[in-house]
Amino acid sequence: MNNYKIGTVISLAIAFVACPSGVSYAKKPRRNAPQSSGNAAASNPKDPGGHSARGVEAAKQRDYDKAIEEFSKAIEAEPGDTKNHFNRGTAYRGANKLPEALADFSKAIEIDPKNVAAYVGRGEVLLAQKQLDPALADFDAALQIAPNDVNARRFRGFVFVSKGEWQKAIDDYAIVIQRVPNDGAAYERRAFAYRNLQKYKEAISDYTKAIATDPKDPDGYRRRAQAHTLAGDSKSAAADFRALLKIKPDDADAQSRLKALETRANSPLPTPAGATTRAPAGVSPAAPAASPR
């Protein structure tokens, strides 16, 4: 899977200290900044010493080492509080310390087996480690608890893409798109699944919708051009490569592919077997093309 690198699906949303339930997380895997409970956190009985609040503030600045230090102190003060393990696991994930993140998310699940965010967080780590089946099990568990969780659905769809289970991926991304209609990544990955099922019309439609969410992304036009090529529409493929080159004029791959398409379009149709080529009256036959070097 060269088109979709697992490392791009990091979610760095961190539990809010002030949440009564202990855990809140972003609806999409983006680097949304966590909310801080401010200076009042130091006297918060649910946050002895204010370490959770300081950890969240450090994480907002992407100072993950400091965040880990503060969340560790929060765990020492309240070892049974699931949000502290979840927060530290997320900070470890941000620091790319995957084994440590895995351990903390697992601890959060042990404390609270219904913690959807912890299942999703652990699933992300397993996905980053390319442990697809264990990741799938965690996303399944999250969806059993919260069937409407878009984050779990999105990541499970990514697992299905990675496993080549195209229809299952399409089904999951359809639900994501229904709930988040402007999710360009979901359109893009569903298009990739359609493409692998040779459903080029559907793939091109989804690539078009993905481009609409980010018209300045050259790769959107590249992917749609490839789908047009597979569908046998060289003219539309060439148009997409030209659009790509307007955004990224020095893209060697697009230049090469466009040149090949234009050469093919300008080449005469092959003569059917057994047919005789005759020049029109008064016109000498063209000289054969020079051999390529």
pLDDT in tens, 49-73: 789 899 999 999 999 999 999 999 9
Is residue 284 domain-resident? no
Say yes or no: 130 and 105 in one domain: yes
Instruction: Please check whether residues 206 and 150 belong to one and the same domain.
Output: no
Task: List, for residues 156-210, the tens digit of each pLDDT value.
Answer: 999 999 999 999 999 999 999 999 999 999 999 999 999 999 999 999 999 999 9
pLDDT (mean) for 81-108: 96
Residues 127 and 182 in one domain: no
On whether both 144 and 6 belong to a single domain, the answer is yes
Residues 131, 146, single domain; the answer is yes
Q: Are 227 and 207 in contact (CB under 8 A)?
A: yes
Are the C-beta atoms of residues 152 and 119 closer than 8 Å to each other? yes
**Residue 63 Cα distances to 48, 91, 94, 95, 102, angstroms:** 21, 9, 9, 9, 19
For residues 239 and 109, membership in a common domain is answered with no
Other CB atoms within 10 A of residue 95 CB? 16
Last residue of a domain, one of 96, 131, 163: 163
Question: Sign (positive/negative) of CA torsion 130, 149, 8, 67?
Answer: negative
H-type alpha helices, 197-233: 200-213, 218-230
Q: Which domain-ending residue is among 141, 163, 185?
A: 163
Domain assignment present for residue 277? The answer is: no
> Domain residues for 51?
1-163
d(CA 234, CA 194): 19
Report which DSSP code applies to 97.
Answer: -
How many domains, in total, are found in the chain?
2
